[in-house]
Structure 1
Amino acid sequence: MEIAVLFITFLVLLLIGLPIAFCLGIASLAYLVLGDISLTIIPQRMYAGIDVFVLLCIPGFVMAGNLMNVGNITQHIVRFSNALVGHIRGGLGLANVGGSMIFSGISGTAVADAASIGSVMIPGMARSGYDKPFAAAVTAASSTIGPIIPPSVPMIIVGSLSGISVGRMFLAGAIPGLLLGVAMMITVYWLAVRRGYPKEKRATLKELLTEGRSAFWALLMTFIILYGIIGGLFTPTEASIVASLYALLIGTFVYKGINWSNLRGILTDTVLTSASLMMLVGLANLFGWILTSQQIPQMLADTILGFSDNPIVVILILNLILLFVGAFMETIAALIILFPALLGVATGVGMDPIHFGVMAVLNLMIGLTTPPVGVCLFVVSSIGKMPMLQVARAIIPFLICNLAVLMLVSFVPAISLWLPNLLMGE
């Protein structure tokens, strides 16, 4: 009875549009009240969910992304990307994807990517002759690269849930992220040729060097973060602080976009975003504890493995579950609730935990661009001032492209495992 109330309450609140954290919290409260369970379990489980050292990365990387947006770092990344590929048919679309790939090496969040790149590229592409829905769709689709290429907030969550090295998870996402970016560039070019989208004037060597020199400090930030983690100079948590300090210095003294008047707003946005994420993590942990106490994860694992123990079939089922959940639930909440249960199923058919972690994150990132709760779709449609349905239709070719990459990552473990095994040993 109680477990039925838990799920019904959660689904009803989700369907009426309540924020996911409140859906999880109110549904959990209803279960505890009906089950006559002491409400002291709420602060205990919430605190246990956020009392994880590696989660300290999150505020640091959120702040780094905010500093980038205000400090004019994003614009320099976009201009450099455009100088490199703008002369190709659909060049601004290619620059959009390239900018997201570079930006993702710093912020690690898809929504920050969609907002910052989108505010520059969507109006710019529309002025240059691109369909506005296409510009928004490219922005939303390419923003999902952010949490795949390191650093990545969802990868941090995976590490905190499973005890997997966050450094290994970061490295495991590098090649899938690059593969995703290349596949999107191919899709952009194909659509641009078919639709006759414009191309920019080829940048001269002098212009290319000028833009490269201008973007050097932004590009160096990605190198510092990755080399520092891989080389053992600092932990992912320390890397997030280094990224924030670096973005503050570069944004203030080099690109001169940050000053005392907007620094307060940056800090406020960082605190609000970090606090909402931590509340979500805490409430999702409470919801997950209830599911575990009712042995729902074990029942799910038994059901899947009872249906088939063929690895190919099980991996397909796992993908379908994650894609479905990702279309309705926020990424971090979905990871906290589902990942521990599905990890047992994945390892039961021989999947490496790191391989499954990358696959799970990629699935849920695709969910950010699918209705009805595709957060990145809402962001870009808001920036472009157009109905979300138009963007949802325009993003279909990119969803097909992303699903093709997902199948490759799912069934070719070496794509995820080769780099961490090479650099950190098996």
Structure 2
Amino acid sequence: MNQAALAGLIMVVGIVITLALGFPIGLSIGASSAAAILVILPFNQAMITAAQRFFTGANSFSLLAIPFFVLAGNIMNNGGIAKRLIGCARLVAHRLPGDLAETNIVANMLFGAISGSGVAAASAMGSILRPMEEEEGYASEFSAAVNIASGPTGMMIPPSNIMIVYSTVAGSVSIAALFMAGYIPGILWGIGCMILTAFMAKKRGYVSKEHYSLSAALKVLWQGIPSLLLIVVVIGGILRGIFTATEGSAIAVVYSLILGVLYRNIKLSDLPKILLSSVKTTAVVEFLVCVSSIMSWVMSFAKIPQMIANGMMGLSHNPIVILLIMNLILLIVGTFMDPTPAVLIFTPIFLPIVQGFGMTTVHFGLMMVMNLCVGTITPPVGAILFAGCKIGNVKIEQVIRMLLPFFAVVIVALLFVTFIPALSMALPTALGLTAAPASMLFVGG
């Protein structure tokens, strides 16, 4: 066995064993990658190389957007913005069957479009709407399932922290293009959940009991406009080139903090707790990015991506078959791994393969993110699943059965996004953020 193969084997086996022993995934990746480098280089050079790669992973201006968007999301969660977004969401959904459940879906989409976090959206919206749903006789497992199933829309509708991570790993991918590409797939996910929820609610007899007069609707809309304007300010500013995504994230913090103070929901004494929570979340993401930079160096030296590519091409040269295999792998991986490390590990493996048959980096990024979003609502490590069950005060086994129809709807939406490039590429192409793909209708067509 040559040196490169031995290094790759040590890293892969090390990651598998340490994860099986319950190591945190960041420590597992870092320790296994460092051990693999020791096979390639002398100890001193190996440690210097690992340190350099660790620094290189963090040395990205784009990654600065993550702590600011995390902080903005936490401020919104505590600043009264969530309640006003729910009011706006109910204007959209109040005449639909199961109007409170439908409101939950729209509110998750709106809050996610501001905070970029599916867990924050499901936690904030679920905690506010749950008492209202209980009062109107909604079953707890139904309410929780709707909240959980629609939570990941916040990871796809911009801003999205996971897209920022992907843009860093993929290299030379416009964050603005990725953000625009996420709108239609994210809305497609949400609409699919809304259609299914309407059928389920009608079957259960959950009818709308709230009807707004014109004056009441205008009052709710007026109260929600300052919160909704955050989307316009941040995304509009990025698109018009007024500021970068990183600068936009800092503006989101200032804007949301001002709203929280004006709404009188945030006090000076609340800031240390909000800042500490944001630092903890950011530290986990940044550490994963850094250690994954070491891992990518080992993977490149050991030619692991090329070996996997050759193996997949050996199974089939049909792009449709290869994409189906990738989707299956990512769906399985997503059930056991958080989206950030999965993006860091599998982007350098799969991206060269799809580029070989003409798939754009933006389209592939949306396919990957959507796959991994499914993992956030599935056991055993689904963060949104656990948060939604805790907020809904229900057991996972009660919710899973109710979630099955939602899984079917989401998988159909995922296949549409995978094989119809226009769903993710139409907006960024129309705005001149990226070149048009070879086909906007069907991959391989």
Match of 1:246 in 2: 255
Shift of 1:251: 0.9
Partner of 1:424: 432
Matched, 1:84 2:92: yes
- The CA RMSD measured in Å over matched residues stands at 1.8
Please give the alpha-carbon distance, in whole angstroms, between the structure 1 residues aligned to 2:151 and 2:143: 12
Q: 1:90-126: CA deviations, max 9, x gaps?
A: 1111111100111122111222222222222334323
CA separation in 2, counterparts of 1:23 and 1:199?
50
In 2: Cα distance, 1:22 partner to 1:396 partner: 34
Give how far 1:361 is off.
0.7
Deviates more, 1:353-362 or 1:132-141: 132-141
| Structure 1 residue 32, shift from structure 2 partner | 4.6
| Pair 1:331-2:336 in alignment | no
SS at 1:146 equivalent: helix
The more displaced of 221-230 and 83-92 is 83-92
Is the CA contact (8 Å cut-off) linking 2:162 and 2:340 kept in structure 1? Answer: yes
Q: Please name the residue that 1:24 is paired with.
A: 29
Question: 1:172, CA displacement in angstroms?
Answer: 1.0
User: What SS is found at the alignment partner of 1:197?
Assistant: coil
Aligned position for 2:438: none
1:144 matched to 2:152: yes
1:184 is aligned to: 193
Secondary structure class of the residue paired with 2:195: helix
Q: Which residue of 2 aligns with 1:212?
A: 221
CA distance, structure 2, for counterparts of residue 234 and residue 380 of structure 1: 35
Residue 128 of structure 1 contacts residue 198 of structure 1 at CA under 8 Å; is this kept in 2?
Answer: no
| Counterpart-to-counterpart distance in 2, 1:262 and 1:129 | 35
* 1:188 shift after superposition: 0.9
Q: In the alignment, which of 1, 7, 20 is matched to residue 12 of structure 2? A: 7
The one-letter amino acid of 1:164's match is: V
Is 1:194 matched up with 2:203?
A: yes
Output the CA distance in 1 between the equivalents of 2:412 and 2:175: 26
> Partner letter of residue 233 of structure 1?
I
Could you give the per-residue CA deviations for residues 193-228 of structure 1, whole angstroms, max 9, x where no partner exists?
122234332122222111111111111111111111
Partner SS, residue 327 of structure 1:
helix
Contact 1:122 1:135 in 2 (8 A): yes
Contact 1:63 1:267 in 2 (8 A): yes
Question: Which residue is 1:263 aligned to?
Answer: 271
Tell me the residue number matched to 1:39.
Answer: 47
How far apart, CA to CA, are the structure 2 residues paired with 1:246 and 1:10? Answer: 42
Amino acid at match of 2:218: L
The alignment status of 1:73 with 2:81, answered yes or no, reads yes
- For 1:217, the aligned partner's letter is P
The partner residue of 2:109 within 101, 111, 131 is 101
Amino acid at match of 1:51: N
> Secondary structure of the residue that 2:47 maps to in structure 1?
coil
**Matched residues, number:** 425
Give the structure 2 partner of residue 386 of structure 1: 394
In structure 2, relative to structure 1, the CA distance for the partners of 1:2 and 1:230 (3 Å cut) is: closer
Q: Contact 1:137 / 1:391 at 8 angstroms: preserved in 2?
A: yes
Provide the C-alpha distance between the structure 1 equivalents of 2:27 and 2:134, rounded to a whole number of angstroms.
37
Deviation of the 1:34 alpha carbon: 6.6
Q: Which runs of 5+ in 2 are unaligned?
A: 1-5, 436-445
Q: Secondary structure at the match of 2:153?
A: coil
Distance in 2 (alpha carbons) for counterparts of 1:224 and 1:80: 18
- Per-residue deviation, 1:274: 1.1
Cα separation, 1, equivalents of 2:219 and 2:344:
45
CA distance in 2, matches of 1:287, 1:388: 34
Counterpart check, 1:132 vs 2:140: yes
| Cα distance, 1:45 vs structure 2 | 1.8
Partner of 1:119: 127
1:211 partner SS: helix
Superposition deviation, residue 137 in structure 1: 1.7
Report the equivalent of 2:237.
228
Q: Percent identity of the aligned residues?
A: 37
Once residues 129 and 289 of structure 2 are traced to their aligned partners in structure 1, the CA distance between those partners, rounded to angstroms, is 32
Cα distance change, pair 31–131 in 1 and its aligned pair in 2 (3 A): farther
| Cα shift at 1:2 | 5.3
TM-score by length of 2: 0.91
What is the distance in 2 between the residues matched to 1:307 and 1:140?
36
Looking at structure 1, the residues matched to 393 and 38 of structure 2 have their Cα atoms a distance apart, in angstroms, of 43
> Matches of 1:229 and 1:135 in 2, distance apart?
35
> Letter of the aligned partner of 1:24 in structure 2?
I
Write the letter of the residue equivalent to 1:185: M
Aligned equivalent of 2:180, options 155, 165, 171? 171
Instruction: State how far apart, in whole Å, the 1-side matches of 2:209 and 2:53 are.
Output: 55
